[in-house]
Amino acid sequence: MPTILDGTAVAAAIKQEVAAEVKRLAGLGVRPGLAVILVGDNPASQIYVRSKVQSCLDLGLGSELITPPTTVTTDEMLELVASLNAREDIDGILIQLPLPAHVDTKALLDAVDPAKDVDGFHPVNAGRLQAGRPALAPCTPAGVIELLKRSEIAMAGQHAVVVGRSDIVGKPAAMLLLHQNATVTICHSKTRDLGAITRQADILVAAIGVPGFITAGMVKPGATLIDVGMNRISDRSLFERFFAGNEKREAVFAKRGSTLIGDIDPKAFELSSAYTPVPGGVGPLTIAMLMANTVRAAKMRRGL
C-alpha cells in the first residue's frame, strides 16, 4: 500500500514551529507583520485571503488586509506598495492574484521590496534561489520540499521530473529539488513523448492545472507522486472517469455538484510508493510556508 503524504499534518507542525518562533521574537520586541492586498471581489480570492489573515491571528503575527476597489489603477497600486515598503512594522507584502486585467501585475510584483517578498516572486529572489543564496522561496514549492523532508523521502540522487514550468511552482520546484541533490528534468507542453520521461521519475511533480492529466501509464511503479494541481470538476462524465465506484467522492459530488481533483489521475496513485492526495496534500502547506516566510523575512531584515 502506498503511503499517503499528509500535508495537513505537516502544515500543522510547521505552524506550531512558526508560533514558537513568533513568541521568541516577541521577547526581542519583534512582531512579524504581513500586509495582504486584495483587489475586487473575486470569491475564491476572498476565501483564500481570509485563511491567510486567520492564520496570522492564530500564530500571533501582525496582519493587515487592504482592499482597493476593482477600479484601482496601476499607479495607485504602486503608491500603495511603496508605502508598505517604507513601513517598519510590515515584514511581508502579498498581492493576491489574479488582479484586474487593467492593472500591470508584473510591474506591481517587481515593485515589492525583495526583502518583503514573502511570495518569492521577485526577480531578485528568483536569482538568489538559483544561486543557492538565502532567499524567500515561493510558498508552494517550498512546502513540497518540507513535505518530502519531513516524510523522510530521499531526494539526493533521485531522478525528479517536474511537469510544468511556471515561475510560481514549476521552475522554483525544480531549483529546490536540484539544491537537494536530485537530478531534475523539467517538462512542459512542448515536451515530446512526455510519458517516456515521466516513467523515469523517482519523484514526479505535477503542476500543470489539467485534471487527471498524468495517467497510470505515465508513472513508474514505486515512484513518489507530488500532485500540486487543484482543479474543480462538475462534469458528471469527468467524475465517472476519475472516481467511478468511490462512494466517499460520490457523496461529496452529489451534495456539492463538484469535487476537487489534482493533475494526476487517482488511479495512478495505486502504483506509487507515496503520494499527495487532493485535497489534503500540497494545498495546506502553501499558507503554512507563507507564515514561515513572513517570520523569516522579519528575521532577515533585522539580521537575526
By annotation, the residues acting in catalysis are 52, 96, 119
Report d(CA 142, CA 226) in Å as an integer: 13
Going by their DSSP bridges, the two strands 183-187 and 92-95 should be labelled as: unpaired
What is the CA angle 163-168-172, rounded to 5?
70
Asked whether the beta carbons of 216 and 241 are under 8 A apart, the reply is no
134-33-283-171 Cα dihedral, nearest 10 degrees: -30
Asked whether the beta carbons of 281 and 10 are under 8 A apart, the reply is no
How far CA 170 is from CA of 140, 142, 255, 279, 286, in Å, comes to 10, 11, 34, 19, 14
Report d(CA 265, CA 164) in Å as an integer: 16
214-217-220-225 Cα dihedral, nearest 10 degrees: 20
Helix-strand-coil split of the chain, %, nearest 5: 45, 15, 40
Report d(CA 127, CA 135) in Å as an integer: 9
Q: 3-class SS at 52? A: helix
Report d(CA 209, CA 262) in Å as an integer: 8
